[in-house]
Structure 1
Amino acid sequence: MNKEIRNLEPKAVWNHFSDLNAVPRPSKKEERVIDFMVDFGKKLNLETFVDKVGNVIIKKPATSGLENRKTVVMQSHLDMVHQKNTATVFDFDSEGIKMLIEGDWVTADGTTLGADNGLGVATIMAVLSSSEIEHPNLEALFTIDEETGMTGAMGLEGGILKGDILLNLDTEEDDEIGIGCAGGVDVTAKRTYSEENTPENTIAFSISVKGLNGGHSGMDIHKGLGNANKIMNRLLLDGFENFGLRISEINGGSLRNAIPRESAASVVIDSISKDPFLFETTTVINNIKEEFSTLEPHLSIDIEEISSPDKVMDLGVQEGLIKSIYAALNGVYRMSPDIKDLVETSNNIARVIVKDGAIKIGCLTRSSSETNKYDLANSLRAAFELSGFEVELSGNYPGWQPNVNSEILDSVSKLYEKLHGEKAHVAACHAGLECGILGQNYPEMDMVSIGPTILGAHSPDERTSISSTQKFWKFLLEILKDIPKK
């Protein structure tokens, strides 16, 4: 099927995307894709170098007649989110993405596609490798580790880039021009607990939550989708309060920037309570499925009898764990008072691990308001500290404040309307783009963000529209020809 994808238009973009998707590129393990990009630039005889943190920069002189235009930085990130369906056998560290065509969409076989932000990378590669596209002086910036820390953007030193305008190619709606985004901070709660021998006369069960949509923990947070960690915790609280349920292990969620799709727990109860426990839990499961029937039609919650584990948590810590997760906010905290329908502040309870005497809970708190970001983070910190957790706030990165008087925004907006006969949607997004961070060391750089339509980012349902990619490509080529003069 990858061969058919290479024949899609624009061929240059899809061929470079296919080449890129053959290279494993998880966040924080970008060595192979860095080498791939360096080799790409050097084969074109373009100035190519890697900065001290691993960002790749490739420079290309202007085509004839556009030397007097402002220099443009085209920017995308090299890493991708790794998520797969439970039944999918796939090794992200060694295999290339297996792509499929479904109507107007390109998707992957049971994994994330990597269109976020691989299509942006491939688009820049197509411009760099072309001998026909008109453009001003270009600086291609390929950053690392956008998805799990923004460390590439944070580590980019001032003075390396000379560009006047930055085109970030990481927006996921083709009718949108991005001019702002949310910042974020990681909230991590940890504590230890005493393991106790599993009581006698007990029976053990595994509880699994799966089949949820998942998705981007910023762009999809307002949709009310199921969070596997919250659903699991609801079941555990009911079992604990009604039947004295004891927890042995929990493994829920994965990456902070992905709404958790799955959670698994092993628990025990008194043998005498088996039948009423199963009846009660089945009732709760049916209630949850009914509540999510519209949004999560594939939600599956299963409970099965298993061999008894050797150890369980002590009751005091267990009660604090369950109640603190119940108290911790998941979802939208505040809508923007200034921009209609934009989430200002939110939290994703992304990861819950209970095993071998240690608990770790990972959250990602996002906001376009620095003060509200820390207000929510402190609310979460309080909920966990009341139960004896040590809480760390880390990985803070700023939002990107909109500039409605931007020259490049005015130029790009007019071009969009000229091409399509309607105005583009000029907006900020509730996701972490690198523009806000890059603007700290390059405060005079004028920035906008554009991209093709991508749905289901950060989940195995990720897909990108073929016709939208064609629309985006034509728009970008017009933008490059129309860059303002110096």
Structure 2
Amino acid sequence: MNTSIEELIVHPVFHYFYEISKIPRSSGNEREISNYLVQFATKRNLEVIQDEALNVIIKKPASPGYEHVPAVIIQGHMDMVCEKNKATLHDFSKDHIKWQRKDDFLYATETTLGADNGIAVAYALALLDDDSLAHPALEIVITTEEETSMKGALEVAPQHFSGEIFINLDSEEEGTLLVSSAGGVTAVQTLPVNKQAIPPSSVQITLTVKGLFGGHSGMSIQKGRGNANKIMGRLLYDLDRVTSYSIATISGGLKSNAIPREAAATLVIPAVFEEQLPSFIANWNETLRNEYRSSDAGVTVHCEVEEHTFTTTYDEITTKRIITSLMLTPNGVQSMSQEIEGLVESSTNLGVVAVDEEGVSFISEIRSSVKSLKKRTVAEVEQIAELTSSHFHLEADYPEWPYRKDSVVRTLFRDTYTNLYTTPPKIEAIHAGLECGIFTEKLPHVDAISLGPTMHDVHTPNEHVSISSTLSTWNYFIEALKTMKNYY
């Protein structure tokens, strides 16, 4: 830990962010961080609830003079997306996140930082730990598995809350108040496979697509960044037009809600075609450099001849069906909002291709702020599954967060920001999924808002958060809590 980090963690927010960065908290592995939050509350004699989904709810009474203000529900999630560069030695199940400070930005070391949504947890802990701050009664809820399924929020029992004001701290741009978000669902196509013996006079090769920028499939889908799985589909389709081959194994992406940066496929090709591979790969690299010269200038296709690792490969029908699934599964922006200029209305991201004992799975994250359009894309993916004789099912279906025309909390946060900075904040809807939709469906009486500091490249190893923005957003947040007694 260098001096600049030591100086940084003197502030309560960065102190607690540093503390939770020591604790493994990948989605589905939150018990340790959940227990930490319970222990934090218990040591301070605060009311705490830990439910079966490991969500943690911590309650703190109102400051003197704020007893008449409705309770405030403050929400974030404890899990993080665990991505690292391929050559990086880091075990997210046990290793601490290693920080680096570069001027005003805080990074991890070749991994995701976890500022999404560790900063929200740090804000909550700093707020709970400081009895000098003025605020209404607080109901802090930190959920689990937001990054994969929103399971935690879906399982939260609404009877735990009395609050009428809901503040989500999972936004990523200072000075922007979010007031609506998309709903989503994960669609899974699983293709059963048939295998055959490796043919004679064959060569095993591995094709790898890498060097893509990636990003959050809700926040970055409109940027036209390359999807490694879709590029792999085109590559395999093109190769199928010039030589026969079969697929031995295939993989791409790690999370359905992250645009995949890498994909790989091991193929068995006729030995006579090996000498043509360099020109085939060179042509593809030229094509990709041209297509992605602005969004993903570093994209490349690599080809390596392998030892004869595999003794069997997928048969011709299975290989054709894999190519069909990759080529036809919809991906990217599906529709734009007609009411809000520049807002993606519907999208889908083919985020993961993975092999297990059940076959080859193609996992897509489908989003829309219009329920019927979400259903339309689901139907399209289901038709692809039917075409390829794949099994189809849905996971983690969560609702959209509709815009509320009359909102006191929106007015309060707008006025507070304007008073602090002499300019009004932006009021926006986003295409990413927020847990606000789940909570406003469970608690239809609440008035909700979402805010947060400026972050960049979340869900990638280049994730970084602005230090100054984290601190100024903290000051804005506690000032808004202080001001609430003038609005209610």
TM-score (norm 1): 0.97
C-alpha displacement of 1:281: 2.8
Secondary structure of the residue aligned to 2:423 is: coil
Q: Distance in 1 between matches of 2:285 and 2:191?
A: 29
Residue 199 of structure 1 aligns with an amino acid whose one-letter code is: P
Q: Give SS of 2:434's match.
A: coil
> Counterpart of 2:184?
184
Deviations 1:346-391 (A, max 9, x none): 0110111246672111111011111000101111111231111121
Indicate conservation of the 8 Å contact 2:284/2:301, yes or no: no
Please name the residue that 2:81 is paired with: 81
Q: 1:211-230 maps to which residues of 2 (within 5 A)?
A: 211-230=211-230
- Structure 2 letter corresponding to 1:282: A
SS of the residue corresponding to residue 326 of structure 1 reads helix
- Greater CA deviation, 358-367 or 291-300? 291-300
Map of 1:208 onto structure 2: 208
Counterpart contact for 1:10–1:470, Cα < 8 Å: no
In structure 2, C-alpha distance between the alignment counterparts of 1:276 and 1:267, rounded to whole Å: 15
* Alpha-carbon contact 1:205-1:268 (below 8 Å) kept: yes
1:471 is the counterpart of 2:458: no
The answer to whether structure 1 residue 430 and structure 2 residue 434 are counterparts is no
Residues 464 and 222 (structure 1 numbering): CA distance in 2 closer, same or farther, change over 3 Å? same
SS in 2 for 1:474: helix
Structure 1: 4+ residue segments shifted above 6 A: none
* Residues 250 and 355, structure 1, Cα contact 8 Å, conserved in 2: no
Match of 2:247 in 1: 247
Match of 2:354 in 1: 353
- The question of whether the paired residues in 1 share the 8 Å contact of 2:288 and 2:300 is answered with no
In the other structure, the counterpart of 1:105 is 105
User: Is 1:16 the counterpart of 2:16 in the alignment?
Assistant: yes
Superposition map of 1:60-71 within 5 A: 60-71=60-71
Match of 1:342 in 2: 343
SS at match of 1:49: strand
Identity %: 36
Match of 1:159, SS state, is helix
Query: Paired residue for 2:447?
Result: 446
Q: Does 1:170 align with 2:175?
A: no
Question: CA contact under 8 A between 2:281 and 2:302: conserved in structure 1?
Answer: no
CA shift in 2, pair 1:3/1:385, >3 Å: farther
- Displacement, 1:203? 1.3
Q: In the alignment, what sits opposite 1:459?
A: 460
* SS, match of residue 430 in structure 1: strand
Structure-1 separation of matches of 2:366 and 2:185: 5
For 1:357 and 1:474, the matched residues in 2 are separated by 51
Change (3 A) 1:169 1:361: same
Aligned pairs for 1:194-343 within 5 A: 194-308=194-308, 309-343=310-344
Query: Within 2, Cα distance between the matches of 1:6 and 1:475?
Result: 24
- Provide, for residues 422-452 of structure 1, a one-character-per-residue CA deviation record: whole Å limited to 9, x for no partner: 2211111111111110112211011100100
Distance 1:429 1:6, change over 3 A: farther
Q: Give distance in 2, aligned partners of 1:348 and 1:437.
A: 21
| Contact 1:78/1:117 (<8 A) preserved | yes
**Alignment partner of 2:298: what SS?**
coil
**2-structure distance, mates of 1:273, 1:80:** 44
CA shift for structure 1 position 9: 7.6
Aligned residues: 486
Distance 1:49 1:345, change over 3 A: same
Q: What displacement does 1:242 show? A: 0.9
Q: Is the 8 A contact 1:2 1:98 kept in 2?
A: no
How many angstroms does 1:401 deviate by?
A: 0.3
Offset of residue 6 of structure 1: 4.6
Letter aligned with residue 92 of structure 1: F
Query: Structure 2: which amino acid aligns with 1:141?
Result: V
Q: Distance in 1 between matches of 2:427 and 2:4?
A: 34
1:293 Cα shift? 2.2
Q: Which consecutive residues of structure 1, in runs of 5 or more, have no partner in the other structure?
A: none
8 A Cα contact 1:9 1:470, kept in partner: no
Other structure's SS at 1:122 match: helix
User: Which shows bigger deviation, 429-438 or 301-310?
Assistant: 301-310
Deviations 1:31-79 (A, max 9, x none): 0011100011111111112123221111111222222222111111111
**Residue matched to 1:72:** 72
Q: Distance in 1 between matches of 2:446 and 2:328?
A: 42
The amino acid of 1:379's aligned partner reads E
Deviates more, 1:289-298 or 1:466-475: 289-298
C-alpha offsets along residues 269-316 of structure 1, whole Å, 9 cap, x if unaligned?
111122223312321122112221221122232101112321111112
Could you tell me how far apart the structure 2 residues matched to 1:164 and 1:2 are?
A: 43
Asked whether the equivalents of residues 239 and 281 of structure 1 are also in contact (C-alpha less than 8 Å), the reply is no
Q: CA RMSD in A?
A: 1.5
Shift of the 46–464 alpha-carbon distance from structure 1 to 2, 3 Å rule, reads same
User: Residue 3 of structure 1: CA displacement?
Assistant: 6.1
Q: More displaced, 439-448 or 285-294?
A: 285-294
In 2, Cα distance between equivalents of 1:452 and 1:232: 36
Q: In the alignment, residue 85 of structure 1 is paired with which amino acid?
A: N
CA distance in 1, matches of 2:220, 2:170: 16
Question: Relative to structure 2, which stretch is displaced further, 293-302 or 443-452?
Answer: 293-302
Question: Which SS does the other structure have where 2:319 is aligned?
Answer: helix
Conservation of the 8 A alpha-carbon contact between 1:6 and 1:15: no
